[in-house]
Amino acid sequence: MIIGTCTIELSIPIAHSLKEKRRVVKSLLARVRNDFNVSIAEVDDQDRWQSAVFGVACVSTSQQYAHGQLEAVVRFIEDARPDCPLVGYAIEML
């Protein structure tokens, strides 16, 4: 069993309040959950208006498949919200 994890840091310059940030974050989380077979949650920077950190996890029998899924999630987030640039991401296989 392979467990893939990914930490994604996102900048949200369009948010001027926690309410605006929450709207962006909830939308992204719901879309990723619906389109990919992964678990995703906001794991850090909950009190900062213009940044978010997501944790993504998937379980697979193949390391290549898990890595591909996590890369696809990163690309999806980049494409879905071009107004919220990706600061960075890290993928780890367990």
CATH ID of 2-93, from 3.40.50.1970, 3.40.50.300, 3.30.70.1120, 1.10.645.10: 3.30.70.1120
Question: Model pTM?
Answer: 0.86
Segment 2-60, tens digit of pLDDT: 999 999 999 999 888 888 899 999 999 999 999 998 999 999 877 888 899 999 999 99
Of the candidates 75, 73, 64, 87, the residue with the CA atom closest to the CA atom of residue 10 = 87
In sequence order, which ranges of the chain are alpha helices (DSSP H)? 18-35, 63-80
Two structure tokens written together for 35: 């389109």
Q: Whole-angstrom Cα distance, residue 84 to residue 78? A: 8
List pLDDT tens digits, range 70-93. 999 999 999 998 888 999 999 999
